[in-house]
Amino acid sequence: MKKWITTKNIEGHLVSLELLEEKHANELLEAASDGELWNLWFTSVPDSNTIKSYIKTALNQFDESQSVPFIVRHKESQKIIGSTRFCNIDNVNKRLEIGYTWYAKSFQKTGVNTECKYLLLKHAFEECNAIAVEFRTHWYNENSRRAILRLGAKQDGILRHHKYDKKGNMRDTVVFSIIREEWEGVKGRLEEKMGG
């Protein structure tokens, strides 16, 4: 089956999204250390014990056309400040999810997330012609849920007892999406928020 997701680095004003490589492990770990993000029980951020398997899994999914993982590089400092990816890629129906997103604590609520999501959505809809982009988050991750709504996504529903979280508890997953016909409106709103 022909790949429909074009894979390349994506440039913004604040950040660049670069394809994940094994050589990024130490810098990713340093970014996750800013706020000890691995201690957040409702999300999955690598620590020193899991960074190698985190990257290996992401790269295996990339090889199988299931995901496109990126590191987030802050352009001014040239530091890696987080990670995100296209995931759960549906090659038949041209749908995908933006997930596995996290940022070093000192870069949260700075405009980085808005620009990252804008860059990924623009790539998905305008270059790859996706029909829909999903976002999923843990029911208890209220900050993430609010951030997704601020992007302009609509809540599709809640997958109750969807899967086990990292503590072994059943997780309810909240599903949001933006569809192709909504992109121009969402794009305009995001550009206004970013001052462009």
Average pLDDT over every residue of 75-89? 96
Q: How many CB atoms lie under 10 A from the CB of residue 87?
A: 20
Q: Count, in order, helices (H) and strands (E) of the chain.
A: 5, 8
pLDDT digits (tens, 9 = 90+) for 142-195: 988 998 999 999 999 999 999 988 778 899 999 999 999 999 999 999 999 998
Domain ranges of the chain: 10-193
Q: Has domain 10-193 been given CATH number 3.40.630.30?
A: yes
pLDDT band, very low/low/confident/very high, at 94 (cuts 50, 70, 90): very high
pLDDT band, very low/low/confident/very high, at 139 (cuts 50, 70, 90): very high
pLDDT at 35 over 80: no
pLDDT at 38 over 70: yes
Say what the pLDDT of residue 44 is.
80
Say what the pLDDT of residue 2 is.
54
HSE on the CB side for 37, CA within 13 Å? 25
Say what the pLDDT of residue 167 is.
79
pLDDT at 41 over 70: no
CA torsion through residues 23, 102, 38, 54, sign? negative
Sequence-ordered strand ranges (E) for the chain: 10-11, 15-19, 68-74, 80-90, 95-103, 132-138, 154-164, 170-179
Output the DSSP codes for 5-27. S----EE-SSEEEEE--GGGHHH
Phi, psi of 118, deg, nearest 5: -60, -50
pLDDT at 67 over 90: yes
pLDDT at 13 over 80: yes
